[in-house]
Amino acid sequence: MITGHTSRLRPLTFLLTIFLMNANAVGQTQVPSQDLRFDSTPVQERAPGNGGTEFTMASNPNFLTLRHPGSNHTFAFGLNNLGMIVGEYIDAAGTPFGFVFSAGKFTTISYPGSVATQAQGINDLGEIVGSYGVTFGFFQGFSLKNGVFSQISYPGSIATYATGINNLGEIVGIYFDQSSHQHGFLDSGGVYTTIDPPNSASTLLGGINSSGEIVGSYCVSPCTQGASFTYSNGVFTNFNFALPNALYGINTQGFLSGAFSPASGSQSDFVYDPTSGKIISFDIGGSSDTAAYGINDKCSVAGFFTDPRANFYGFYIQRDSCP
């Protein structure tokens, strides 16, 4: 499993995966799985928990490995419908920087005066959200629009993390209150609203689509049990999956992306197809941990995986359309 990749911080990557380390599925039933083919060349897929045959990444033209030049680790988190990808890389000194990857090139994102920056979400207008730290402690959120940074800070919080943005400019994320309790939030035009499922002791919001549908995960005290959910028009709906899981992305057609933890204890990516009700998970050759974070309206997916030497790489699986 993934642990905090920079122990001096409370990085969002750590917060996003801690649910999988501690949470067991709450009253959920197994969702069946079936193959999903990615364009003309198939990515090797498998049913969750059933193993699978690895594929050679270089032989699949629809699979792109992302590693920032000179970095020790690279994580891909969000993408838009133009194929622009945002994420984070860790340089040789252990410093986290954000990035946007577009047209085959990396551009570094660093919040002014910060010691660490993470880019988490991007919309079709190129607006980016993420988090930064000016000291090695809690982060604050930011938005980046037309080259101008703006701070995102939930009123009265001690820390704020922005995780997703839709084409209406609505932003989701998490914040810590004065008692260090973790909550989800929606920022709509500067108006902040707490988004917590009933009885949640800790909430994490992963993404929002342009219809205002939100995905996230939560746990109930003492956080030995957890679940993922969708949220729309004031209604929370638990995501039915028998294994511990977290939801990170949702597109306008309702396809979901996330990660689950099988009995082996490793972390595996998945995509949920709402038209068939199926769960799809795909192998990334030799990796013990994978996560699917962003999903766009063509069902292209961005995320990250580890190699046998515990190096982190971003990935991008490109599709022309959803199934």
Is the Cα torsion angle 275, 280, 284, 288 positive or negative in sign? positive
- Tell how far CA 130 is from the center of its chain: 12
Identify the segments of the chain with pLDDT beneath 70.
1-61, 136, 225, 263-265, 283, 285
Q: Is residue 68 part of a domain?
A: yes
Cβ within 8 Å of residue 309, ≥6 positions away: none
307: CATH: 2.120.10.30
Q: How far is CA 106 from CA 16, 66, 70, 84, in A?
A: 24, 9, 12, 10
Q: How far is CA 120 from CA 11, 162, 170, 253, in A?
A: 12, 7, 14, 21
pLDDT in the model for residue 60? 58
Q: Is residue 6 part of a domain?
A: no
Q: Is residue 142 part of a domain?
A: yes
What is the residue-wise DSSP string for 250-319? E-TT--EEEEE--TTS-BEEEEEETTTTEEEEE--TT-SBEEEEEE-TT--EEEEEE-TT--EEEEEE--
Q: Is residue 4 part of a domain?
A: no
Q: Is residue 21 part of a domain?
A: yes
Print the domain residue range for 169.
12-317
Q: Is residue 153 part of a domain?
A: yes
Segment (H or E) for 65: strand 63-66
What is the residue-wise DSSP string for 40-64? TSPPPEE-TTS------GGG-TTEE
Q: Is residue 44 part of a domain?
A: yes
Please give the Cα distance from 149 to 186 (Å, whole number): 19
Please state the domain count of the chain. Answer: 1
Q: Is residue 5 part of a domain?
A: no
What radius of gyration do the chain's Cα atoms show?
18
Main-chain phi, psi angles of 74, to 5 degrees: -135, 135
